[in-house]
Amino acid sequence: MRRAGGIAVGIAFWLAAGAASAALAQSAGATDKDQYWLLNPVPDSQMRDFNTDRPPKANSPVTVDAGHFQYEADLVNFAGQLTGPMQSYTLLGPNPTFKLGLTNSVDLEVNVAPLVGVHTASSATGVSSTVWGNGDLFTRAKINLWGNDGGTSALALIPYVKAPTAPLGIGDGAVEEGVIAPLSISLPNKFTLLFNSELDALKDGADAGRHANYMNLVNLSREVEKNVTLYVEFWSDYNNDPALRTVQYSFDTAIAWAVRPNLQLDFGADFGLNSATPAFQLFVGLSQRF
């Protein structure tokens, strides 16, 4: 309950912190694009700067312009975890998210990895196993509350539902859902501070019950060279599964290169800070807007 209360307080703080920026953006006369929607696309000349939810774990509060399509994909993603004698390795490739702008403040997002491999082995027993298959299907709606087209902050809510399309050993065979709240704040000297809080309703490991999962992160980014942005991030996750409560922490780094105005390449590395977290995660990604 304390953790849930902390998330509620955090979101309330973000709302208060961004309200002034939202008012400033409105008073500054930001371009009104509310007349555009899926079948009446935003003209290219009025599109906002290309913005993605990758490469870090953080989500951006900015949506895809109405009537436009965008994909963001891990070309390859490899993670490894060591817990005592147990070793686990996960390979995804590719892992695309497809996005479609519905209105000026809402987009629809679908994610599924067509190829996932999970290998586990025990150095104590010598037993190992490998499972190959597709991943679970995630459907999300990103709803921007303010800051899509200007201002010093932006906030969105991202509710999602996971359909259990992955085989056991990759997924848990359960429908699960949650909501993510990303808040970005523009800082001096071209820095951007990004907070994410996430609340999930997940299946219990031992039975068909449900439990809460809480995720929080803070991300700092800056353009270090023209069209090249560097990211650093601290991520945490508390899984309140009655069968095995776990806490994970990681320090994440990434770099993104805007090859063209609507094309981005990125790569990064995440490092686990405790034994419950994957020791490393390495990835290379590609994003494009149409």
The proportion of the chain whose per-residue pLDDT surpasses 70, expressed as a percent, equals 89
pLDDT in tens, 123-163: 888 899 999 999 999 999 999 999 999 899 999 999 999 99
Number of structural domains (the chain) is: 1
How much is the pTM? 0.88
Predicted confidence at residue 124, as pLDDT, reads: 86
Q: What is the CATH number of the domain that holds 175?
A: 2.40.160.40
Average pLDDT for residues 104-122, to the nearest whole number? 97
Q: Mind listing the pLDDT tens digit for each residue in 274-284?
A: 999 999 999 99
Nearest-5° Cα angle at 257, 252 to 261: 135
Sign of CA dihedral 142, 146, 150, 153: negative
Evaluate if residue 11 carries a pLDDT over 70.
no
Residue 27: predicted pLDDT: 35
pLDDT at 222: 98
Q: Phi-psi region for residue 151, left (φ > 0), alpha (ψ -120 to 50) or beta?
A: left
Domain that holds residue 178: 2-289
pLDDT at 24 over 90: no
Under 8 Å between Cβ of 102 and 66: yes
- Are 2 and 240 in contact by the 8 Å Cβ rule? The answer is no
pLDDT of residue 48: 96
Q: What is the pLDDT of residue 12?
A: 42
Instruction: Measure the CA–CA gap between 267 and 261, rounded to whole angstroms.
Output: 18
Tell me how long the chain is.
290
Residue 8: what pLDDT? 42
Name the pLDDT band for 191 (thresholds 50, 70, 90): very high
235-240 average pLDDT score: 98
User: Phi then psi for 124, rounded to 5 degrees?
Assistant: -80, -40
The per-residue pLDDT for 150 is: 87
Q: What is the average per-residue pLDDT within 96-118?
A: 97
pLDDT in tens, 44-82: 999 999 999 999 999 999 999 999 999 999 999 999 998
Mean of pLDDT over the chain: 91
Calpha distance 288→230 (Å, rounded): 19
H/E run at residue 231: strand 228-239
User: pLDDT grade, residue 31 (50/70/90)?
Assistant: low
Contact, 163 vs 176, CB < 8 A?
no
- Mean pLDDT, to the nearest integer, of 107-134? 95
Contact indicator for 256, 229 with CB cutoff of 8 Å = yes
pLDDT higher than 60, residue 20: no
